[in-house]
Chains A and B, each alone.
Chain A
Amino acid sequence: MTTSTSSQSLWQRVTAPLSSGPIAYGFLALYVLACSILLVTNPRTELSTDVVFVLFLLSMLVAYRSRVAAWFKVVLGVFALGVVLPYFGTLNPFYIDVATQAGIFTALALGLNVVVGFAGLLDLGYVAFFAVGAYAWGIFSTPQITEINPAWSPVDPVMFYPFLIIGLILGLITGVLLGLPVLRLRGDYLAIVTLGFGEVIRVVANNLDRPINITNGSQGIRAIERPPLIIVDQIRNLGIVADDNRLYQLFFYYLVLIIVLLTVIVVARLKHSRIGRAWEAIREDEVAAVAQGIPRVRMKLLAFAIGASFAGVMGVVFASKQLFINPPTFDLLRSINILAMVILGGMGSIPGAMLGAIIVTMLDLQILPRIAAVLREAQAAGAPIPRQFDPTQYQRLLFGLLLVVMMIFRPEGLWPDERRREEQHEVEITDEELEADKTAKQAGADSGS
């Protein structure tokens, strides 16, 4: 990873020694250890822990961007996300919940990134596919199924694992069904149609309690099953006392972590494949792409279906984790929420989408409530803040500002895709910079091998 714009030269001069060579190994190890120790020794929910938690997550970003050997990055990642964070989660369940939510949205943002970022199709109804997966597991795992046909009975909770695949297939089918008719349309029409589709799915979920009660209408589905914990008895045998809720939190954390990892691998492989290049060509110039022999509709459909299938899988996980779903869970705001993640991070950029997802989720779950609490205290102290004002209620304003500001000032996102950034800014790349870039890439390749 290299950044070689002249404006960042000072920043680079400071960070260069810390991001490569033997100093980098020491710095990173120290950084991650320090954050871990701070977290584990002070697990209360308060502002300082929030800050350390953010720094802790930031360490992953720093490690990813620094030029150290790949095995070292993997070790750091496994240590931080696989050991420290779950352990910290057993001390303070709030943070592992935040991490799990961030993971779910990371997978969703990665899926949407395929549609919006790679193929350039603006999908404003992405949450509809999420809803399909969530409702599938919600209906089939609860007595809700007997409302459809009294002869049927809920599936066994262990079916959760195959249902991940079923959720994927359902998302895929819905994506193809919606995509087939609308993908011939131009970009802005597509945005409105997908938005309409998202609303239709929500309205249908809200009203499909008659004539046959399929979705239980606006009351939603309660007591959704969680999968049985496989190795729980072995853990108990080891003498570790843990109640079910804690274990389930850990279970979902690891499950989401694995799914995110798989998603990243799939998406990254796709991006650099023939298909990914075709998507990029369509995004940049449809007419030219078709002239080159790229099957436009098939490629668009593929992007749409792949994005939708990720959402379908995450829907199953989400329903099972939340235990309760209802139609407002899947409203337009959530689609916009995921879109904001992709745009904040950088359309078409995989680390960007992940960064965006984590920032927006943290903003939603941690930072806004924290600001609200601070305001509440200020208000109690007599500051002139209206009593009704609650920052957690103004996510729309926040996301709206975020979208507009990003579009005007940094349309390529916080962590732009390399190729896309070059297009958007079209900076004159001097020979020296090219040379520096080449050597940097070589260094990266060397350390990677």
Chain B
Amino acid sequence: MAVDATVAPTTARRSLGEVLGVVFGPVGQLLAFIVGSAASLSLIVVVLALILSSAQPDIMQRVVIILPQVIIDGLVRGFLFATIALGYTMVYGVLEFINFAHGEIFMIGGVVGATVSFLLVSAGALESIPPLVFILLVVLVAMAFCGMLAVTVERVAYRPLRGAPRLVPLISAIGMSLILQDLARLVMTNTPLGFNARYQTPNFGQPIQLFTMQIGERSVPVILSPRDLIFIVAATIMLVVLNYVVNATKLGKAIRATAQDMPTASLMGIDVNRIIALTFLIGGALGGAAGALFGLRIGTVNPYMGLIPGLKAFTAAVLGGIGNITGAMVGGVVLGFLEAFVAAYLSIFTAGNFSGAAYADVAAFSILILLLIFRPSGLLGEATTQKV
């Protein structure tokens, strides 16, 4: 975790203004990256369309019509990756270890959400509770369950291996990821949930029409579905709260100290094991909430849905500079936009020869590889020397 050098190492209480600055500064940075990447990617797409418009006269129109929808999609994907990436980056910051099972924590968040919804349906209470209460219930249950699960996983599979060669805990984490996948499958296929569990929700109301675009004679409505809105709002709240916890509380200071230098932190009276467990708790809770919200958005969950988002979230964490919390958010959003643009425009620009949806994964991993070659420290990370 990059420790903010501007935070004065005083024990004095900081003024409200300073706290607000610390909490919302990263949000401002995030906002800048959202606007920046959306604008630059849109520009690239429009320029490409201009170049190709001599061959295909209608390409410009087709590109512009879907553009606002693609930006919304990118935002949702971006926040999804950002919330998962936070779990990776916090654990990496403290332990310098890739918690491979984190994608599975995300998946289990979705499964827990579906279970809550299933229980409500069988109690006949789903339609009668207000949507907001439903969302709170689902998210809080998923956060509690996944936080505890992450702590348990750390206790069982990682703590005994602390101090072992680097590859040892990583292999253990891969094993843990496989175990969680199949345990979830075992539970789901032997209960009424089924392999592809349906995730029923109360009625969230009509899609919100933001504005209509005039393109030629056609007017194209730009629609934001309530589920997307819920996801974006909830993710933003979580990011702000996390920023507050890490940057403005005593606990956060302990986490940052542990990340910076574990032996010294323990000499300063910080219970390092407790801080590591708390880091897993926070990361797991965020992953679980992301899973519950993501499942709610797409309507079904299955035990294998965690792997690919987990990998991409890791890519996002590296993109932002692994170990850096703001970086994870920024990386998530940038990757989300990139992927949304590739998924939407690849087939338009290649005349349908390459399906964008299929190659979006390839694009994400190619970004990871390129990034690690040319800028392994990420967008916001500082070049670090490896401890010898």
Contacts and interface: CB of A to CB of B under 8 A. Distances in A.
Contact of A397 (B182, B358, B368): B182
A263 B34 CA distance: 52
Interface in B140-161: 156-157, 160-161
Nearest to B362: A200
A122 B98 CA distance: 13
B174 A336 contact: yes
Given A182-B373, A403-B172, A192 B311 contact: yes
A389 interface: yes
A189 B372 contact: yes
Contact of B98 (A192, A203, A206, A401): A192
Q: Which of A182, A188, A193 counts the most B-chain CB atoms under 10 A from its CB?
A: A188
A400 B307 contact: no
A223 B175 CA distance: 36
A394 B376 contact: no
Q: Which of B157, B186, B355, B365 counts the most A-chain CB atoms under 10 A from its CB?
A: B365
**B-side interface mostly:** helix
A397 B167 contact: no
Contacts of A404: 156-157, 172, 175-176, 179
B190 A389 contact: yes
A181 B369 CA distance: 8
A203 B358 contact: yes
B90 to A, nearest CB: 16
B178 interface: yes
Contact of B167 (A122, A181, A189, A200): A122
B368 A192 contact: yes
Interface in A398-449: 399-404, 407-408, 411
B388 to A, nearest CB: 5
A206 B358 contact: yes
B372 A394 contact: no
Contacts of A197: 365, 369
B386 interface: yes
A124 B174 contact: yes
Interface in B154-196: 156-157, 160-161, 164, 166-172, 174-183, 185-186, 189-190
Contacts of B372: 181-182, 185, 189, 193
**A-side interface mostly:** helix
A203 B359 contact: yes
Contact of B369 (A196, A399, A403, A411): A196
A367 interface: no
Contacts of B386: 186
A400 B362 contact: no
A400 B167 contact: no
B175 A403 contact: yes
A407 B161 contact: yes
Given A196-B311, A211-B353, A187 B174 contact: no
B353 to A, nearest CB: 4
Interface in A196-238: 196-197, 199-200, 203-204, 206-207, 210-211
A277 interface: no
Contacts of B183: 397
Given A197-B369, A200-B361, A203-B361, A187 B167 contact: yes
A408 B181 contact: no
B219 interface: no
Contacts of A388: 189-190
Kindly state the interface size class of chain A when it binds its partner: 35 or more
B376 A189 contact: yes
B311 A199 contact: yes
B314 interface: yes
B353 A210 contact: yes
A53 B275 CA distance: 52
B211 interface: no
A397 B186 contact: yes
A188 B185 CA distance: 28
A120 interface: yes
Contacts of B369: 181-182, 193, 196-197
B166 A400 contact: no
B366 interface: yes
Given A206-B358, A408-B161, A185 B376 contact: yes
Q: Which of B174, B180, B190 counts the most A-chain CB atoms under 10 A from its CB?
A: B174
Given A207-B358, A287-B388, A389-B190, A411 B168 contact: yes
Nearest to B156: A404
A195 B98 contact: no
Contacts of A122: 167, 170-171
A268 interface: no
A81 interface: no
B175 A407 contact: yes
Nearest to B386: A186
Contact of B160 (A185, A399, A408): A408
A182 B361 CA distance: 19
A401 B179 contact: yes
A176 B152 CA distance: 40
A294 interface: no
Nearest to A186: B386
A225 to B, nearest CB: 29
Contacts of A250: none
B204 interface: no
A386 interface: yes
Interface in A12-27: none
A184 to B, nearest CB: 8
B318 interface: yes
Nearest to A285: B388
B282 to A, nearest CB: 21
A196 B175 contact: no
Contacts of B97: 188
A415 B176 CA distance: 23
A403 B311 contact: no
B217 to A, nearest CB: 34
A399 B98 CA distance: 19
B113 to A, nearest CB: 23
Nearest to A181: B373
A289 interface: no
Contact of A407 (B171, B308, B359): B171
12 contacts: A124-B174, A181-B369, A200-B361, A200-B362, A207-B355, A210-B354, A210-B355, A397-B178, A397-B179, A400-B181, A400-B182, A407-B168
For the complex of A and B, the 7 pairs showing the least CB-CB separation, nearest first, are A403-B175, A400-B178, A397-B182, A400-B179, A196-B365, A211-B353, A404-B175
Interface of A: 120, 122, 124, 181-182, 184-189, 191-193, 195-197, 199-200, 203-204, 206-207, 210-211, 287, 332, 336, 339, 343, 386, 388-389, 394, 396-397, 399-404, 407-408, 411
